[in-house]
Amino acid sequence: MSTNNNADTLPHVLIAGAGLGGLLLAMLLERAGISYTVYERSQNLRALGAAMGFGANTLPIFEQLGILDATYDISYPCYTVQMYDSNMKSIGGFDFDHYKERTGYDTIMFSRPDLHNLLRSHVPAEKILLGKRILSLSQDDDSVTIKCSDGTSYKGDILVGADGAYSAVRQSLYQLMAKNGEALGTDADDLTAGHICMVGTTGPLSAEKYPALKDTFSHCKRIVANESKYSWSVVTVPGNRICWAVILQLDSTESKDAAFRNSEWGPESNATMIKECYNFRNPLGGVMGELMDATPIEMISKVFLEDRMFETWNYGRTVLIGDACHKFLPSAGQGAQSAFQDAVILANTLYDMPSFTLENIKAAFKEFKDQRFGPATTQMDKSKVMGTLLYGQIWSERMTRHMIFNWIPKSIQTQQFLKDTAYRPQCTFLPFVKNRGTVTVLEQKPSKKHAEQQTRRATVAVI
């Protein structure tokens, strides 16, 4: 077995997973001057997925990193989400057209592959190692080591599990904790799938066939079927393309069936589901099957939708971020947004560490979880509510959707949405982005190290 130990004297961070959260963390560590390497299990890093949306909770981070304009280039502003039943009768929706004035940012929509490619372009290629499926980890007072399926091993000072809901790092970490007699409680339980979701992004389409493609804003439309457990959505994005998703709600028996285990966002045999959904009405015209036909088969992926808030986020020199420690339903854009916020807060705490001793690392991880667990729990609750509204099919969910869209005034809905935009953590070691909206932004714990550096620089400048 070949072993590759970090030979540098500088502290080194091992990042497991080159998904959105792992790549953003890599960008942040690059700016912080902290050594790192990203280990990705896939042999070929191919971005999958469909539509995603961000707003004021996330875009200040992109502005700090200098990629906001590039993000705008791959996105459209979204002013409404319109929802219908199978007969195209309106059943509700959301309005975002006034958000920019109040929050400082439009709500924007884009394809996940485009964002993934953008983030990857800002991480040096030599710092991303492919084909590194992690089998196990070990750690002691001085270091942490991962062993990969290709026979290699890598040693560092910190291991970050950013490898998704079925995190190999989390599984290995929990096994290590159990071996050491640590109680895991419900964290040891399996995830339970509640929905199956098939997604894709088409190639360029005819704007004559789909007139909505002529607009420079995103059309976001969703149908919740009357007669089945299916719901589906379409979102227009730049490049005359349409992101699409089809969601099937599972009953309790199907949810517990071990046969429904699956890897995340990976292409597989989707023929049966495509056949079932082919003739579903496309709210932009035609049928959904035409969008599936216009999507490269290797870019159509199926995933099981689950949600779980894990209690154990770290142990020793290992810490989890994103779906590895809190798996959201992809209903309110909370998954990637929360992973990005994890990455920001973790980078801030690592930056402020005086040294990478085990004691300092444990203190930094505690600070990270103290700052993130509360907001992540709130985001989890919001994600569940949005999941009910967007694709809930059982009677109680349909009633909840009807009451919220028809009985609760729009002003109250808007007030809650705007309240949610107040949490916008930024990098404390980079210049802060000022609030350009009217919503009051929550204060953030400053970086002592950065403040001291600024003071020293100011003193030198005066001298």
Tens digits of residue pLDDT in 315-359: 999 999 999 999 988 766 678 999 999 999 999 999 999 999 999
CB 302 within 8 A of CB 197: yes
pLDDT of residue 7 exceeding 50, the answer is: no
Higher pLDDT, 398 or 350: 350
Buried/exposed 174-213: b ≥16 CB within 10 Å, e otherwise: bebbeeeeeeeeebeeeeebbbbbbbbbbeebeeeebebb
Identify the residue with better confidence: 139 or 387: 139
Best CA proximity match to 322, nearest among 304, 340, 310: 340
Condensed to tens digits (0 to 9), the pLDDT of residues 11-26 reads 999 999 999 999 999 9
Torsions phi, psi for 255 (to 5 deg): -65, -30
Q: Extract the tokens encoding 329.
A: 């339903």
3-class DSSP assignment, residue 193: coil
Based on DSSP, count helices (H) and strands (E) in the chain, helices before strands. 14, 21
pLDDT in tens, 239-297: 999 999 999 988 755 555 534 454 444 455 588 899 999 999 999 999 999 999 999 98
Strands (E), 181-229: 195-201, 218-224
Read off the pLDDT of each residue in 204-221 and give the average, rounded to a whole number: 98
Average pLDDT over residues 357-374: 97
Taking alpha carbons only, the member of 382, 421, 420, 389 closest to residue 404 is: 389
Q: Which amino acid, 105?
A: Y
Nearest to 233 by CA among 74, 399, 93: 93
The stretch 378-403 carries a mean pLDDT of 88
* Domains and their CATH numbers in the chain: 12-190+307-456 (3.50.50.60)
Q: Beta strand 314-315 with 241-249: parallel, antiparallel or unpaired?
A: unpaired
Tokens 């290709």 locate to 150
What's the pLDDT band for 433 if we cut at 50, 70, 90?
very high
Please list the residues that pair with 223 across neighbouring strands: 84, 232
**Contact indicator for 313, 365 with CB cutoff of 8 Å:** yes
Q: CA 209 to CA 87: how far, in whole Å?
A: 21
Strand (E) or helix (H) holding 145 = strand 144-148
Is 395 or 145 the better-scoring residue by pLDDT? Answer: 145
Q: Nearest 5°: phi and psi at 235?
A: -140, 125
Q: Is the pLDDT of residue 183 over 90?
A: no
Average pLDDT, the chain: 90
Strand blocks (E) in 293-402: 301-305, 308-309, 314-315, 318-320, 326-327
What does the DSSP 8-state code read for residue 108? E
* DSSP conformation class of 300: -
Q: Read off the pLDDT of each residue in 441-458 and give the average, rounded to a whole number.
A: 77
Please report the pLDDT score of residue 140 as a whole number.
96
What is the side-by-side order of every strand in the sheet holding 144-148?
Answer: 3-5, 153-156, 144-148, 134-139
pLDDT of residue 8: 45
Residue 432: its pLDDT value, please? 95
Contacts of 153 (CB under 8 A, 6+ apart): 1, 2, 3, 4, 145, 146, 147
* Confidence at residue 265, expressed as pLDDT on a 0 to 100 scale: 45
pLDDT score, position 2: 42
**For 28-75, what is each residue's pLDDT tens digit?**
999 999 999 999 999 988 888 899 999 999 999 999 999 999 999 999
DSSP 408: S
Amino acid at 242: I
Question: Per residue in 189-203, pLDDT tens?
Answer: 877 778 899 999 999
3-state secondary structure of 80: strand
Find the angle CA(246)-CA(109)-CA(119) to the nearest 5 degrees: 105
pLDDT of residue 252: 58
Bridge partner residues of 153 (DSSP) = 3, 147
pLDDT at 43: 92
